[in-house]
A and B are shown apart, each in its own frame.
Chain A
Amino acid sequence: MSEPTGLAWVALSFAKLLAIFVVYLGTVAYTTLAERRISAWIQDRHGPNRVGPQGLFQPIADGIKNLLKEETIPGSASPWLFVLAPALAFVPAFVTWAVIPWGAPLPTPWGTISLAVADLPVGFLFILAISSLGVYGITLAGWSSNNKYSLLGGLRSSAQMVSYEIAMGLSTIPVLLLAGNVAMGDIVAQQQATSWNAVLLSVAFLTFLVSAFAETNRLPFDLPEAESELVAGYHTEYSAMKYSMFMIAEYANMMTAGAFISTLFLGGWDIPFTTWDSTGAPSALKSAATFAMLYAKTLFWLFFFIWVRWTLPRFRYDQLMALGWRVLLPLLLAYIVLIASVLLALDAVGIGRGGAYVATLFGVNVAVVAVVAFWLDRGRLVSPAASRLQVQELERLRQVAARRAAIAAAGSRGT
């Protein structure tokens, strides 16, 4: 059970990196096909089924097409940032994968290795930190394109992602309270010892799910690209591989979010209703089975993202912000206090981490969910679109604009 050292460690790390990168990129490519086929299924049509059997070679054809297309940069764009932006969106989406433990430890001739590329002690803080870098790519893309639609898309995305970063971070705090650690491996171990966090912390699970949609810019939160309003939002001016990189980043983010949700709330690589996977000596079979488990959970979330996208309409910008700041933020703050109190109380009463512990936490969560759902039913969660500027306010804004124009005109004439 010793860790490999020296050259073996380097070689094995590199092998893990390569394996995960290949699996990851392959899944991302086929998620694009899955999106098209599943949407076709939902919408009662066929979807791409011409390239290869059942359209299975479609992602390859798309990739070749995007690589061979001409790269265009608008004359008025800022060229360096315009080229940098897709890379900035692309890289963080992939880097986050390094810390997710992909299965039970794998025994090798050089020692037992963890199936995370790097099981960092800072754990999910690393994911939160790196994934929030992705917003730079989108904002810079919107700004450097020198296009008004792109600019609005970039602005929306920066506001949206920064806001939901907070809700997302707060949703993970209860997980941290339970696990007592931010390392992903420890969070998985804690869930194996008690129960999945989706049961223990249902509210955090649901809010995390909502934030994950916002973080990945997926419908109903796809305001940065809102095709009916902003044409294509921040990537209006992009084409060929640079456009493709934004798409890959979006699907990669979805997959990261899926794996992240699974790890934090659905037990990670834990196989439910058995302790075979987490006890006893490590074996290759266990590693393979647990990897398949997490992969299946991640695929389920990918399907869920796609399913929701083709079902729901889109939020409006202010509704999105209101949901993030006025609903999720206070709710989560109150929830953290509640969970901390319940945990303290349980410790004080002396209930260990067994059935009673799980039942109590689950009961508390069901009560909170019921209250929130009741509140949601009253139509307060989505603020209606009726909010509108008054005529007087409009008139004032117009006068301000006219005056600014006058000042600018006077200034340009040097008076």
Chain B
Amino acid sequence: MSGTRTIEVQLSTTGLAPDGTPQRVPLAVDTAGHLVPVGAALPAVEPDLGGEHMLINIGPQHPATHGVLRLVLELDGETVVRCTPHIGYLHCGFEKIGEYRQYNQIIPWTDREDYLNSIGNNVAFVLSAERLFGIEITPRCTVLRVIAMELSRIISHLVWVGTTAIDIGAFTPFLWAFQERENVYNLLEGWVGARLTTSATRVGGMAADLPDGWLDGLRNFVRTFPRTIDEVDRMLTKNGIWVGRTLGLGAMGAAEAVNHGLSGPMLRASGVAYDVRKDEPYLDYETYDFDVPVGTAGDVYDRYLVRMEELRQSVRILEQAMRRLPDGPVNVDDPRVILPPKHKATSGMESMIHHFKLVMEGPRPPIGECYVPVESPKGEKGYYLVSDGTSKPVRWRIRPPSFVNLSAIPKMVEGHLLSDVIAINASIDIVMGEIDR
């Protein structure tokens, strides 16, 4: 080759500008005969040992993506050079559907978005709706909802511990965790009749009060459950391979974590003691005695430790809630939202009309909007509701903690190895139903 030519080359997807538009990179031939981008500060002779980069899809059908997440990874050997998450494979349009449903009819949809935390979502949704309606719930209902939320947190964290252990190669803790999860589901089944899709709450109360003897079952669970936590703890926490696989992995500093909008255990593992239950208390959480575990390094190991400790703290909260559970009505005495008792609705004319109107038209909140954040197992979760005074919201929006936490994944995995992508992805604790909605 003689002389220097300038060739303009249209690059494929690898040549995207930061704003997403395709970039045209002018290339020139250098003295060694190689093509180099004009003006790029590259060494004249690049030792070409790496070979081609490989693009590999992790998902949407992959055993370790916890649903239908798709991560497009650009690998140099096994090192991740670039990670592009693709979401939307599970989009169901929950929020849009909600605009065509009465408030109580939305509750079953909240079961189905973060399906590991269904009863917690039920509670979170009605908290928002009740603020919109301006309803004060009864003391018994408040404590019942605390029990529901903490059981839900235990379910979610158990699934997290189990699946993360599988992703890092330890299969056994998964089944131990799932056995305890079955116990919680049995409790929920006894209470509301459903295991996974609970739909347990109603605006102004709960679908059902506790059946007789249910608290004994919970007491038994609270007594035996810490043993399982200890067993998993013994299997993993000081295991050399487990520590080696998780320590220092996907570390996020406190400032970084806040900048990415992380919340929940992800944020607390980075050393920020933000817990909605403490900072913006709801359901009288400020009167419960529990600790918020906080990590230091913000790596996968810290996230694991934080979640394990949260399981123990949930048990503490459950114990206190059981002790203080007052007698009295569960539902508020407010005919605007609460159906009349069935025996009255079938015998008295007024109650029958009341029942008919509430079912056919639904309760009507005043005009307004509201957002009540709660501490879901995955982070700060809230339902934003806008009412125009009709019985259906004009806008229903979910703040999904998984979605926000997942947004930091390229930041966390780039530079790590392929195996670490799986571990880091697991540590975020995502549920695709909540992300795609």
Is A303 an interface residue when CB atoms closer than 8 A count as contact? no
* Residue contact A415 to B7, C-beta cutoff 8 Å: yes
Q: Which of B205-213, B257-265, B418-426 contacts A (4 or more CB under 8 A)?
A: B418-426
* Residue contact A229 to B14, C-beta cutoff 8 Å: no
Q: B residues 168-215 with Cβ under 8 Å of A?
A: 168-172, 175-176, 179
Residues of B within 8 Å of A223, CB to CB, are: 419
* Residue contact B236 to A313, C-beta cutoff 8 Å: yes
Q: A residues 193-229 with Cβ under 8 Å of B?
A: 219-220, 222-223, 226-229
Is B12 an interface residue when CB atoms closer than 8 A count as contact? yes
Query: What are 7 A-B residue pairs whose CB atoms fall within 8 Å in the complex?
Result: A228-B168, A311-B170, A312-B170, A312-B239, A397-B76, A400-B46, A410-B7
The answer, among B52, B56, B172, B242, for a CB contact under 8 Å with A42, is B172
The answer, among A382, A383, A406, for a CB contact under 8 Å with B25, is A406
* Residue contact B11 to A382, C-beta cutoff 8 Å: no
Is A391 an interface residue when CB atoms closer than 8 A count as contact? yes
CA of A319 to CA of B243 in the docked complex: distance in angstroms?
A: 12
Q: Which of B32-40, B103-111, B117-125 contacts A (4 or more CB under 8 A)?
A: B32-40
**For chain B, what secondary structure do more than half of its interface residues adopt (helix, strand, loop), or is it mixed?**
mixed
Is B92 an interface residue when CB atoms closer than 8 A count as contact? no
Is B166 an interface residue when CB atoms closer than 8 A count as contact? yes
- The 8 A CB mask of A123-136 against B (1 = contact, 0 = none) is 00000000000000
Q: With A385-B244, A402-B11, A409-B12 in contact, do A317 and B40 touch (Cβ < 8 Å)? A: no
Q: A229-B418, A410-B9 are in contact. List 9 more A-B contacts (CB 8 A).
A: A39-B171, A228-B167, A312-B241, A313-B236, A385-B244, A385-B249, A398-B14, A401-B81, A406-B35
* Residue contact A44 to B10, C-beta cutoff 8 Å: no
* Residue contact A385 to B82, C-beta cutoff 8 Å: no
Residues of A within 8 Å of B27, CB to CB, are: 406, 410
Please report A residues at the B interface, Cβ cutoff 8 Å. Answer: 39, 42-45, 148-149, 152, 219-220, 222-223, 226-229, 231, 310-319, 376, 379, 381-386, 388-391, 393-394, 397-407, 409-410, 415
Q: With A389-B79, A406-B9 in contact, do A399 and B240 touch (Cβ < 8 Å)? A: no
Kindly provide the distance from the CB of B372 to the nearest chain A CB, expressed in whole angstroms.
37
* Residue contact B414 to A401, C-beta cutoff 8 Å: no
Residues of A within 8 Å of B171, CB to CB, are: 39, 43, 310
Residues of B within 8 Å of A404, CB to CB, are: 52-53
* Residue contact B175 to A43, C-beta cutoff 8 Å: yes
* Residue contact A314 to B420, C-beta cutoff 8 Å: no
* Residue contact A383 to B56, C-beta cutoff 8 Å: no
* Residue contact B36 to A45, C-beta cutoff 8 Å: no
Residues of B within 8 Å of A44, CB to CB, are: 175-176, 179
* Residue contact B247 to A386, C-beta cutoff 8 Å: yes
Residues of B within 8 Å of A149, CB to CB, are: 56
Is B74 an interface residue when CB atoms closer than 8 A count as contact? yes
Q: With A313-B168, A406-B9 in contact, do A384 and B243 touch (Cβ < 8 Å)? A: yes
